Copies of this chain bind each other. A is one copy, B any other.
Amino acid sequence: MRIAIVGSGQLAQMLALAGLPMGIEFSFIVDKPDADIRCIEGLGKIVHSHKATSPEALYQALGMPDCITVEKEQLDVSLLESLAQFCPVRPNIEAVRTCQNRQREKLLLESLGIPSSPHFFLASKGDAQAAADAVTYPVVLKSCEEGYDGKNQFIVHTAQELLSIVSQEDITPCIAEQWLNFDKEVSIVGARATDGSMSFYSLAENIHHKGILTRSIAPAKALSAQQSQTAENYLSQIMEKLDYVGVMAVECFLLGEELLVNELAPRVHNSGHWTQLGARTCQFENHIRAIAGLKLGSSENIGVAGMLNLIGTKQAPLELADKLSSVHWYRKSPRPGRKLGHINFVGKDWAEVNKRMDNYLGLVKALSESR
């Protein structure tokens, strides 16, 4: 069996590393001419889609995969459409299309009655005044596409500020979402197989710094069973509705007892990396199993797990791994602010894991500066 993945980053790398032990072969579709391919070198055929003379030539160059998947939602769906005539695309193209656009995401959530933050959609700069009048400040102004890790996002406090940003920035179509003073951000990762069966991981609590995820801990602390069940129900409804196959992640805001969906990701997700050490089957293996038409592996937790992103760290801090932690290093070129790896932790309880992560944050920082 051969699987082709659109993308050449760490998610593509970890998907391949989860599938290679099963004897599955991989190909990578590099859809940006200048993409860094260091993550995936050696793991399979690497094909630059812009060099292919036809969809058929591309499919052939990929080694005629049995299935195509994605490591990201921000891509040209026409690439997927052109390949769908040769083999299944999983998750399906409509699911990717929905999740790559914040408006389509909101419409999907509304159609399912799943709550999310109040928002106003700006199709063009001409909608600025209507938006400025309608929203409750502060709002977060987010481009409908291409925005992630805090990029293309602005926190806006007044109508005047909103009008000024929309007129000056290349941001429309965009969405103005009411800024919620949420207690926590949590996420749920789950998988759906071709036979419709599903499996869900424990909810993770996510901590961000400057819009970038820095750490996740699962199971999230102080969540009620009811809230976990609600998150599972949301993800389950979304996957059913999209006839989804593969792993999907849903980020949610927690406001008191209320759970509001923030964002969907039609792929394996940074907040699910802890599953590599803290769950029976990691999210990467379950995505591969799902899209390969196989049965899902157990998503059961093995203790409390945490994940600390290595951001800007100059070199793999392998010496930091101890008995109950492991370092993952993506082989990307180091650059300040870039996610270059992560450390997974496992332990007995939330406080202990969180404390160890605090200690490590200091150690990683010291290592980054000394080298």
Contacts and interface: CB of A to CB of B under 8 A. Distances in A.
B23 A329 contact: yes
A294 B280 contact: no
A138 interface: no
A327 B288 CA distance: 13
Copies of this protein chain in the complex: 2
Given A17-B20, A43-B42, A326-B281, A289 B321 contact: yes
Interface string A17-58: 100111110000000000000000011100000000000000
A53 B67 CA distance: 44
A296 interface: yes
A219 interface: no
A312 to B, nearest CB: 15
A289 to B, nearest CB: 7
Nearest to A288: B318
A234 interface: no
Given A23-B341, A280-B324, A292-B318, 20 more contacts: A17-B21, A21-B326, A21-B328, A22-B318, A22-B321, A22-B326, A22-B327, A22-B328, A23-B328, A23-B329, A24-B318, A42-B44, A277-B280, A280-B346, A294-B319, A295-B319, A295-B322, A295-B323, A297-B324, A298-B324
Interface of A: 1, 14, 17, 20-24, 42-44, 199, 276-277, 280-281, 285, 289, 292, 294-298, 302, 316, 318-319, 321-324, 326-331, 341, 346
21 contacts: A17-B17, A17-B20, A17-B21, A21-B328, A22-B316, A22-B318, A22-B321, A22-B326, A23-B318, A23-B327, A23-B341, A42-B43, A277-B280, A280-B302, A280-B324, A294-B319, A294-B321, A295-B319, A295-B323, A298-B323, A298-B324
